[in-house]
Amino acid sequence: MDPAPDPPADLPADLPADLPADLPADLLTGVDHVGIAVPDMDEALAFYADTFGLTCVHEEVNENQGVREAMLAVGAGSTQLQLLAPTSSSSPLAKFLERSGPGLQQLAYRVRDVEHVAAVLRARGLRVLYDEPRAGTAGSRINFVHPKDAGGVLVELVEPAR
Ligand code: KFV
């Protein structure tokens, strides 16, 4: 059997041993959703329906994240719009709204294995927020990259439910 190929030269030496050599092309598999902070969910749902004709395809409350969320389908694409409203004053969304007002809060990439991608990004020196993935929309497993390590964008990693 051929020996394993050398890792690309620009990767740090302390990457997990089982990383495929063709990174980063395989790291992110799509844009899962774009998250928008809204102060009032019902108002926002009405605005997006009446203005852009976007319909809500899924709604839930994530108590752990302190958010009420609604996923809106955009045409036949697989990237959805996620409206996020805080359910408590300690929610990250409440802090974001207070500081920045309504608007783009996060960009969420779909991944096949959230632990693996988190390990790669940590090894590249980025702050990944949670030690272990947490529960996300519709049974997904999620983690986040700190916006200060990602060009000012809060990056969410989403491993969809199987
Ligand atoms: N985008 C860009 N910059 C941001 C930011 C954001 N969303 N949030 C904070 N910042 C900047 C902020 O402007 C400030 O910069 C600095 O980060 C610290 O802000 O240059 P500046 O002015 O110093 P703080 O102090 O307001 O925020 P902090 O308490 O540090 O919290 C930031 C962060 C990213 C650690 C926190 O928001 C967080 O833990 N976020 C991850 C969890 C989250 O956002 N949950 C809600 C979505 S739940 C979800 O999406 C789900 C369930 N799902 O499945 O999709």
pLDDT in tens, 129-151: 999 999 999 999 999 999 999 99
Find out whether the beta carbon of 136 lies less than 6 Å from any atom of ligand 1: yes
Please tell me the predicted confidence (pLDDT) of residue 11: 47
Find out whether the beta carbon of 96 lies less than 6 Å from any atom of ligand 1: yes
Give me the number of domains the chain comprises.
1
Share of the chain above pLDDT 90, in %: 84
Whole-angstrom distance, CA of residue 127 vs CA of residue 94: 22
Q: What is the residue with the minimal CA distance to atom 36 of ligand 1?
A: 92
Find out whether the beta carbon of 137 lies less than 6 Å from any atom of ligand 1: yes
Mean of the per-residue pLDDT values of the chain: 90
Over residues 86-104, mean pLDDT: 97
Q: What is the CA radius of gyration of the chain?
A: 17
Omega within 30 of 0 (cis) for the link into 24: yes
Q: What is the residue with the minimal CA distance to atom 10 of ligand 1?
A: 147
Please tell me the predicted confidence (pLDDT) of residue 26: 75
The answer to whether residue 153 sits within a structural domain is yes
The answer to whether residue 92 sits within a structural domain is yes
The answer to whether residue 112 sits within a structural domain is yes
* Block residue for tokens 């983690």: 143
Find out whether the beta carbon of 162 lies less than 6 Å from any atom of ligand 1: no
Here the CATH number for the domain that contains residue 114 is: 3.10.180.10
Please tell me the predicted confidence (pLDDT) of residue 1: 41
The answer to whether residue 143 sits within a structural domain is yes
- Predicted TM-score (pTM) of the model is 0.90
DSSP 72-109: E--TT-S-EEEEEEESSTTSHHHHHHHHH-SEEEEEEE
The answer to whether residue 79 sits within a structural domain is yes
The answer to whether residue 118 sits within a structural domain is yes
The answer to whether residue 141 sits within a structural domain is yes
Angle at alpha carbon of residue 119, lines to 126 and 111, rounded to 5°: 95
pLDDT in tens, 29-58: 999 999 999 999 999 999 999 999 999 999
Please tell me the predicted confidence (pLDDT) of residue 61: 98
The answer to whether residue 5 sits within a structural domain is no
Find out whether the beta carbon of 71 lies less than 6 Å from any atom of ligand 1: no
Residue range of the domain that includes 125: 30-159
